[in-house]
Structure 1
Amino acid sequence: MSAADLTRRGLLSAGAALVASPALASTRDPQAGSFTGLREQGVSAFKGIRYGRAARFERPLAEPWPGVKTAAQGFAPIAPQRGNRDTPQSEDCLFLNVWTPDANPKAGRAVMVYFHGGAYTTGTVTDPLTHGAKLAAAGDVVVVTVNHRLNAFGYAWLKPFGPRFADSGNLGQLDLILALEWVRDHIRDFGGDPRRVMVFGQSGGGAKIATLMAMPAAQGLFHSAATMSGQQVTASGPINAWARTRALMTAMGLAADDVEGLRTAPTQRLVDALAATDPVIGGSVYFGPVLDMTNLPRHPFWPDAAPQSLSIPMILGNTREETRAFIDPRGAKLQGLDWTNLAARITPEVKIDLDIDWVVAQYRAQYPDWTAQQVFYAATTAGRSWPGQVIEADARARAGADKTWVYQLDRPSHVDPLRGAAHTDDIPYVFGTLDAPGSMSGVDEGARRTRDRMMQAFTGLAKNGKPGLADWKPYALPDRATLVVGDGRADCIDDPRRFERELWATAPYIQPGS
């Protein structure tokens, strides 16, 4: 190894600071373990740290800590999935990554732990949008990102096959709990404060956090939370979960009682079977947390907010036009859209059962200047992607959780004007990754101001238990104060989408997959 290579390296050792020089620091306690990492954008990056191991369909086990550990110079393999085919995948995927301004154990910085989106089916924290260097440097925090088991590997319900598989419906969640236990036990050695751990996640990552807020084993492992366009009002019921497992096995050509065939099948054979039709909601088969009455003994936000988490300060957010990310304005679903076919185009996209002709009439009366496309995206967002956040925020407010803050991202993409403010568009503002591949924010002054405010809000919650914006009022009923984030501005407005909220509350919202 050259002297230049050594200069870029650092060694973290228990009780010792990171040293970015040719001389490696010595480990004070040889039983505590040590890690090597790289300097990255002004902070120290430790990638590919194993936090556990797990056999297929079994509970994860912590990775023994003693001994010298070497963090990879790149990311470890991600969970098997149908997406991200260009990224190495493996069932051995329980790895996390740490970015820290200073690995001195005495630094005591707040810790921000990120869970990725992709529902419970796909996704990874190797996405450049969620690399933690810029957030760690600008926010002066320790950033941790976590990969875990997904889809059938993490959430298939096998308990009907016997007690050996009692944890099977929530293994992905148990992976996250194990990662948080790793943070509790070891983040001090990376300069973090285990008493100030914030979890945050976008889309499926937010849903995973909402679920953790009702899991007894997660209690005390995090001290604040933020969900970004991700909610979990109810979990999957065991009857529906079992129907999905049977559909998976049928797609694999397995007999109904062949659990050993499922347990030992090649990874790719199981991944391919994820294309099976979901017997409950249609589309490809869904796997997510299961109401198993042990690991998850209640629904996260039904019939109320889980009492164990009411004292946890929480940010909940959504984007103004979530569905522009799913439904391309240039795609077939929008071709030829007009007032004569608008209701028929909206109907299959929403999750609240209302007469959509009536819904369209209400929108037209309220917003007579809107185009059919504007109504389409407003209705599909408010009837599909937004209701869960309203339910969760209202549930916390009704229960007296006074440390709740809600935001709405209104700033449209400056990369693609037709995109508006769509699903995932808040990620680069929070991570500071405006120029990363996949970012739709642009890098103009408005984007930078929006980044600064969003990052200040999130890091403030991690550090102090409240957002770092003095003018952001807590969410309470009936006012429903909401931070509306525009092009470099952020204004606190009471109930900014009251008309749509009340319109879609005419009928109940049913969590997809439950």
Structure 2
Amino acid sequence: MKDSFWYKLLMPFLVLMLTVSVTVSCNGVEGQQEEEEEEEQSTEIVDPIMTDAGLVSGTVVGDVGEEVRVYKGIPFAAPPVGDLRWKPPQPVEPWDGVLDCTEFAPIAPQITSSEVEQSEDCLYLNVYTPATNTTDLLPVFVSIHGGAMVIGSSRSPDMTYFAQQNDVVGVSIAYRLGGLGFFAHPLLSEESENGVSGNYGLMDQVAALEWVQNNIAAFGGDPDNVTIQGCSSGGESVLFLMASPFSEGLLHQAIADAGVYGSSRTPPLEEMETRGENLAIELGVADEPDVLAALRALGADEIVAAVPVSTSGTELQLPNVDGWFLPDLPLEVFQAGNQQNVPLMIGSGSDDLAKEWNQYGDKNFACAMSTVSSEVYAWIFDHAPCGSGGGTHCLDLTYLFADLSTREDMCDVDLEVSEAMVAMWVQFARTGDPNVEGLIEWPTYEEATDQYLKIGDPVEVKTGLYIPPEAGEEEEETPAEPATYTNTEYGFSLEYPGDWVEKTEDLGPGVVWRVGTTYTVPAVRVIIRDESEGTTLEEVFTIHLTEDGEKTIDTFTASDVTINDTDFTQAEVTYSSTAYDYESVIIGLVTDGKWIIIEVYTVSILPFDYEDQQAEILSTVTFE
């Protein structure tokens, strides 16, 4: 063969081709290795993104150069269903393929008029990221929704605009609510390896923050710079998390908005266990051979419907002091200096209810923090759209997260207030200090100077946060001076007699009372309804009577109010807003086709046991 003509002719060519082939092959391997190394070094964020449980794919919104990637419904814990109901959150089961995260997950079971899908499988979060790479990591802003621990969802706030404009990664989280999130029972405590029960909703929040630590860098967020923020029960959650040892290392700044009241009414585990036993009786399962199995076999809607929503001392939606997750009342933890020692912004709106919340603790928490840290900033939000009254509960969230330039009900002053507020909040999230060059200097809170920032028109530094008496001290409560307001257009008068009555008396229609209160300025909410137009509401406003008989009026939009019953003598009215829902009672009627609905406040500052306390007559309504 080697002597053949073809062998001698082709052999040189075969050798040449083999050499070229080997060279090309080696160069190809080298080129592939270089490409792989470049890919490994690349920090560009490309969808889908790998989390510790699998790939997730979201959507891109915004104009070119201002894009925000939005990932909705990312699971951060296993579904708390079946045997996992009323247990601490468990790890997510990894999934194959790419998880579609373009739609919000169902919201936690709750009583609401909304038709949004609900499910006990609710432990999901949303990520809003403007980041384009994982090299220049951005501050992370985690929002915890409010709703009295019984309503709400991670759908609010929409953090798209906030993330886009401020180069922060926004995260909104869900958690179990009401009886599914905070139900305690002796048998559940016995079942637990830690000997406690309840607080599952707060444990969910910790699990979400742990997810942030493990995954947010892949979305361009900095796990070493996480700010938690919440309003109302979201603000309460911020303080609970700061008071829990399980939050250590999970947060680096905290913003508690209107959250002091709820965090101050945290009963001990034993009391919540007793309430849980009473609920089991009410649900008809207390005598079952296996009470827990019977409770877990109930539908989520049955649990939700059976849990009372009130401030009467029977609530089941409250966190409890269990000595494990919550070692003590949050204020006690702060005063002992055992909270997570991170920079804190604490404040509330200036509406009548928020003022009471502020009086019951913002200064207490600020004082407690200031003894162990100089990084405490107090504020009061005292602004409303185009100057129409005072700031209302959690209204500041609109100024923080929304694009006000697109809203017709906002004016230039609103935009200026929003810009200043956003700049300070974002600066705090970046550095732990809200002071921004070119804006007013915001001093840290110190008990000696008692300074806070009033956010309104103008934004200014004020002094004099209220602080209640020490525990055990009596505070003298004096009713306000008598005051009268007469409405000739609708034919009724409103009188505040400056008097007290016993709670046991039947006050009857036309009398609004509040228990054991420091609230000295009477206020009632008045709704004018045109009977001929069905449930169409003409006007909704709140009348505040001052001691000299003057009045101020806060206006609500009619779309925020729905009438659920048409009984002329007594009917429930539900207010729905971005902040909260609550119910009131009709106690008056004006003829000629006009209803006057005088609201009996159902949300108030009450102690747990108030059966023997006095009630203040806030107003008496007289119809012509």
TM-score bucket (shorter structure)? 0.7 to 0.9
1:176-210 Cα offsets, whole Å, 9 max, x none, are: 11100000010000000000000000110110110
Higher RCO (CA-CA < 8 Å; seq separation 6+): 1
The 3 A distance-change label for structure 1 pair 170 and 503 is: closer
Matched, 1:270 2:297: no
* Number of residue equivalences: 425
Structure 2: where are the runs of 5+ without partners? Answer: 1-39, 477-517, 519-604, 610-624
Amino acid at match of 2:70: A
Q: Deviation of residue 302 (structure 1)? A: 1.7
Alpha-carbon distance between aligned partners in 2 of 1:256 and 1:201, rounded to the nearest angstrom = 40
Alignment equivalent of 2:365, drawn from 392, 401, 405: 392
What secondary structure is seen at the aligned counterpart in 1 of 2:279?
Answer: helix
Amino acid at match of 1:255: A
Alignment equivalent of 2:159, drawn from 128, 132, 136: 132
- Aligned-residue identity in percent: 26
Alignment equivalent of 1:408, drawn from 355, 367, 380: 380
Alignment equivalent of 1:291, drawn from 314, 321, 343: 321
TM-score (norm 2): 0.63
Matched, 1:241 2:211: no
**In the alignment, which residue of structure 2 is the partner of 1:188?**
217
Between 101-110 and 504-513, report the one with greater CA deviation: 504-513
**In the alignment, which residue of structure 1 is the partner of 2:56?**
35
Q: Deviation of residue 501 (structure 1)? A: 6.5
Matched, 1:476 2:506: no
The 3 A distance-change label for structure 1 pair 61 and 102 is: same
1:364-412 Cα offsets, whole Å, 9 max, x none, are: xxxxxxxxxxxxxxxxx54455422222112212x23210001111112
Structure 1: where are the runs of 5+ without partners? Answer: 1-12, 324-380
Alignment equivalent of 1:460, drawn from 412, 427, 442: 427
Matched, 1:197 2:164: no
Q: Deviation of residue 157 (structure 1)? A: 0.8
The 3 A distance-change label for structure 1 pair 460 and 82 is: same
Between 61-70 and 459-468, report the one with greater CA deviation: 61-70
Amino acid at match of 2:323: M
What secondary structure is seen at the aligned counterpart in 1 of 2:212?
Answer: helix
**In the alignment, which residue of structure 2 is the partner of 1:333?**
none
Query: Contact 2:276 / 2:316 at 8 angstroms: preserved in 1?
Result: no
**Normalized per residue, which structure has more strand?**
2
Alpha-carbon distance between aligned partners in 2 of 1:303 and 1:225, rounded to the nearest angstrom = 16
The 3 A distance-change label for structure 1 pair 76 and 167 is: farther
What secondary structure is seen at the aligned counterpart in 1 of 2:209?
Answer: helix
Q: Deviation of residue 307 (structure 1)? A: 2.7
Alpha-carbon distance between aligned partners in 2 of 1:472 and 1:44, rounded to the nearest angstrom = 33
The 3 A distance-change label for structure 1 pair 83 and 243 is: farther
**In the alignment, which residue of structure 1 is the partner of 2:92?**
63
Q: Deviation of residue 229 (structure 1)? A: 0.8
**In the alignment, which residue of structure 1 is the partner of 2:168?**
141
Alignment equivalent of 2:475, drawn from 507, 510, 514: 507
Q: Deviation of residue 31 (structure 1)? A: 7.8
Alpha-carbon distance between aligned partners in 1 of 2:270 and 2:52, rounded to the nearest angstrom = 47
Query: Contact 1:310 / 1:396 at 8 angstroms: preserved in 2?
Result: no
Alpha-carbon distance between aligned partners in 1 of 2:425 and 2:608, rounded to the nearest angstrom = 30
Query: Contact 2:312 / 2:606 at 8 angstroms: preserved in 1?
Result: no
Alpha-carbon distance between aligned partners in 1 of 2:333 and 2:243, rounded to the nearest angstrom = 12
The 3 A distance-change label for structure 1 pair 43 and 271 is: same
Q: Deviation of residue 233 (structure 1)? A: 3.3
Q: How does 1:341-420 map to 2 (within 5 A)?
A: 381-384=354-357, 386-397=359-370, 399-414=371-386, 417=388, 420=390
Matched, 1:122 2:151: yes
What secondary structure is seen at the aligned counterpart in 2 of 1:391?
Answer: helix
Q: Deviation of residue 456 (structure 1)? A: 1.1
**Normalized per residue, which structure has more helix?**
1
Alpha-carbon distance between aligned partners in 2 of 1:219 and 1:101, rounded to the nearest angstrom = 27
Query: Contact 2:405 / 2:415 at 8 angstroms: preserved in 1?
Result: no
Alpha-carbon distance between aligned partners in 2 of 1:86 and 1:306, rounded to the nearest angstrom = 45
Q: Deviation of residue 305 (structure 1)? A: 3.2
Q: CA-atom RMSD, angstroms? A: 3.1
What secondary structure is seen at the aligned counterpart in 1 of 2:332?
Answer: coil
**In the alignment, which residue of structure 2 is the partner of 1:494?**
463
The 3 A distance-change label for structure 1 pair 30 and 238 is: closer
What secondary structure is seen at the aligned counterpart in 2 of 1:450?
Answer: helix
Q: How does 1:296-375 map to 2 (within 5 A)?
A: 296-302=326-332, 304-305=334-335, 307-309=337-339, 311-323=341-353
**In the alignment, which residue of structure 1 is the partner of 2:191?**
164
Q: Deviation of residue 468 (structure 1)? A: 3.8
The 3 A distance-change label for structure 1 pair 200 and 80 is: same
Between 244-253 and 459-468, report the one with greater CA deviation: 244-253
Alpha-carbon distance between aligned partners in 2 of 1:512 and 1:137, rounded to the nearest angstrom = 43
Q: How does 1:435-454 map to 2 (within 5 A)?
A: 442-454=409-421
The 3 A distance-change label for structure 1 pair 62 and 247 is: same
Amino acid at match of 2:284: G
1:283-332 Cα offsets, whole Å, 9 max, x none, are: 87342211111122222112643534353000001111143xxxxxxxxx
Q: Deviation of residue 64 (structure 1)? A: 4.3
**In the alignment, which residue of structure 2 is the partner of 1:334?**
none
TM-score (norm 1): 0.75
**In the alignment, which residue of structure 2 is the partner of 1:175?**
204
Query: Contact 1:154 / 1:169 at 8 angstroms: preserved in 2?
Result: yes
Query: Contact 2:385 / 2:410 at 8 angstroms: preserved in 1?
Result: no
